[in-house]
Chains A and B, each alone.
Chain A
Amino acid sequence: MLIRSVVLSVFALFSVLGCSNQKIDSKPTITVWHWMTDRDSAFQALAKKYESLTGIRVNFELYAPSDAYSQKIRAAAQGTNLPDIFGILGEKRDFASFIKAGHILDITSYMEADNSAWKNKLFPKALAVNEFAPGNSYGINPGIFGVPIDIMTIQMVYNKKLFGQLGLNPNRPPKTFQEFLDIGNKIKAAGMQGLVSGWGEVWMIDCLANNYAFNIMGKDKVLATIRGEVPYTDPDWIRVFSIFKQMQESGVLAKGIVTMINKSAEQLFANEKAVFAFNGSWCVNVYKGMNPNLEYGAMLPPAASDKYPISIWGGAGSSFMVNARSKNKGEAVKFLAWLTDQDQQAYLAKETNNLPANKNSLSKIPEILAQFARGMDYATHPNIWGVSEFSLVIEAFDRGIQSIIIGERTPEQVAGEVQSIKERELAKKRAR
């Protein structure tokens, strides 16, 4: 009897409390998922600022490492549980798949409102990464589907102190590929290590090889190759593969570069154990943390041909997308517009040493970052080409270059192998 009374009393109490007046908070909470450990504290600070200005709470949720984040996003997409704002890690075709599945909001109308006020603030090349042009090969309606929050370029950096020790002018990095190879001989003679990079993780090999492909044969021929109109056995492509053989033979590459992870490469360069590094503009923050006194400069990869300009990979470093199914999508877009305003971008650049996506925030960045920013004039990216290479071809291409560096295959052999995989994939595509 007593137990029954207690249970009934508790039930009645909760019922009364449940019916009581509650203050309903009409302001939504925007949830953002990201993987950027180095930017998390800056994001949290900006979220607090935004809440104090608008009353809207922004909840930045960090999921690292990036591999785990990438899987989380895919799983959430399958369950239609994506947050209001999220980023995508992957290639343009992954981005296209998310759009096709209806996960990403087309923000073109927001960008182009008020005479394209928002769009005009941002670097066009950073925006292009998030844009699908008319007639793109992914079958996506033309439009802008993401907001760049910072930009990056991938270039070479050189150690000024070690340059001095080699008898070179620390303010004049090599401009031509031959000059670069000549420095390789000096590096070998001095017993130093040359270029370090995360070539064990392969995608950076792809990046440098593409830089030289643009330089040697021009953009049109590179894209024609991707479309299957030019074979990889073309002499220009063999010259691209040969670049790596020449670098290896001259001694300009550090020992063990083919199994080097980028973190090790960054440590080696920051600790002044390597003369050159091939790295993205994010390295400024990394090197600053590892060795604040490091004296270095950024440079474009030395040109191997004067026929076409050298191109580097660059554009949007990280971008955010708005969930098309979110009930807060209007607020989410407004927050992203605020995040890419001059002051917020300047704050992010100052706190994280990343290049701002807002053109007007560049004036306050340090000189080394400005050097990377100047590289934007030469920037291109596979995500803006409108066509994409088969992933199996990219894999064979990158592995082949590793084989060339270790002296296992010749450039001609690699070209033949890559082309045979290309033909197989093209045949499969035609059969579909």
Chain B
Amino acid sequence: MKIKEALENYTFVLPAAAIFSVFYVIPFIWVFQLGLFEWDGISFTRTFVGLQNFKEIFFQDKSWWQAMWNASYITLIALTFQNILAFMLAWACDREIKMKNFYRVIFFIPPVLSEVVVGMAWRFIINDIDGANIINRTLTGMGMPNLVHNWLSDPNTALTTVALVHCWKGFGWGFLIFLAGLQTIPRELYEAARVDGASAWQSFRKITLPLMVPVMVLVAILTVLGTMQVFVLIVSLVGGEFAGHTSVPVLRILASMRGSSRFGYACAQGITFGMVLIAISFIQYRFSKKARQ
């Protein structure tokens, strides 16, 4: 009887396990395998180089680590600025305010737009000679002409500008998830707190924040995974890696694959990058578990 039950259970799990294997596990193993070869992506012959590609990534490829640092910087801004903004707006829309449905729709427009469109639109807004120069004009209009700047062509501001445009594009996802999370908190808890004389700040700190921790962790994981892989926006905003200042891992992988025809090395970069993302997600998950306890 037990064997029959076990077989039944495995039968139900089998389709999901098969799909997961075919589309995730096998490609991952295959890409790892390709990472052990020197291969141009065209010929039928590949030269086995062992872990040489991985060694080169870890000990010689400075531009790879610069790209990782750049992506981490954008991610840090997204984790803080983007998610705080998303949470605050979700919190505001969760309350009884006028036109809250209108705001919900407005806030969700940027995420559904194409990254290329967003990049081109912001490039037009920001740039002076091939754009409308709106940011600089506004700064001049506000009496701050000393801040007027080539935001996308200055190595000191290019990455931050990219990060802020990315936040503008991405905060809608966080907003939506936070709003859904906030709506699951029973209203009775707030009413009971009010009856007990708790202030709005105390309610927020003692009820909203603790109950939102799992949602915050989910949003944080999604933000990290989404932001670390940003590249389309960068290409449409600054045309590419801009002397390495806006270089990110996916652009590096593309450069290895397309620019240098080093498919094996690109696969090794992809595996390294994937492992980093898995590690970050795992740490975040562990952290959330502790926070919940």
Contact = CB atoms under 8 A, between A and B. Distances in A.
A247 to B, nearest CB: 15
A73 to B, nearest CB: 9
B153 A255 contact: yes
B243 interface: yes
Contacts of B63: 395
Contacts of A193: 129
Interface stretch (A51-59, A97-105, A163-171): A97-105
Nearest to B247: A399
A200 B130 contact: no
A341 to B, nearest CB: 31
A66 B19 CA distance: 32
Chain B contact residues: helix, strand, loop or mixed: loop
B155 A408 contact: yes
Nearest to B261: A94
Interface string B118-136: 0000010001111000000
Nearest to A261: B239
Contacts of B244: 399
Interface string B139-156: 000000000001011110
A202, A258, A267, A392: which has the most chain B beta carbons within 10 Å? Answer: A258
A402 B128 contact: no
Contacts of A273: 129-130
Given A70-B258, A399-B244, A97 B43 contact: yes
Contacts of A93: 40, 261
Given A193-B129, A264-B130, A273-B129, A198 B239 contact: yes
A225 interface: no
Interface string B38-51: 00111110000000
A260 interface: yes
A256 interface: yes
Interface string A195-206: 000111110000
Interface in B233-282: 237-244, 255, 258-262
B182 to A, nearest CB: 40
Contact of A94 (B42, B152, B239): B42
B238 A259 contact: yes
A97 B41 CA distance: 9
A422 to B, nearest CB: 14
Given A90-B261, A260-B239, A399-B243, A254 B129 contact: yes
Which bracket fits the contact residues of A? 35 or more
A48 to B, nearest CB: 33
A403 B42 contact: no
Nearest to A199: B239
Given A77-B42, A94-B42, A259 B242 contact: yes
A90 B263 CA distance: 14
A256 B152 contact: yes
A260 to B, nearest CB: 6
A367 to B, nearest CB: 28
A395 B255 contact: yes
B218 interface: no
A101 B262 CA distance: 16
Contacts of A329: none
A262 to B, nearest CB: 9
Contacts of B237: 259
Nearest to B236: A261
Interface in A71-94: 74, 77-78, 90-91, 93-94
Interface of B: 40-44, 60, 63, 123, 127-130, 150, 152-155, 158, 237-244, 255, 258-262
The 10 A-B residue pairs with the shortest CB-CB distance, nearest first, are: A200-B239, A391-B260, A402-B243, A256-B153, A97-B42, A259-B238, A261-B239, A264-B130, A403-B243, A101-B43
22 contacts: A74-B42, A90-B258, A97-B42, A97-B43, A101-B42, A193-B129, A199-B239, A256-B127, A256-B128, A256-B129, A256-B130, A256-B150, A259-B153, A259-B237, A259-B238, A259-B239, A260-B130, A260-B239, A264-B130, A268-B130, A402-B242, A402-B243
Interface of A: 67, 70, 74, 77-78, 90-91, 93-94, 97-98, 100-101, 103, 193, 198-202, 254-261, 264, 267-268, 273-274, 391-392, 395, 399-400, 402-403, 406, 408, 424
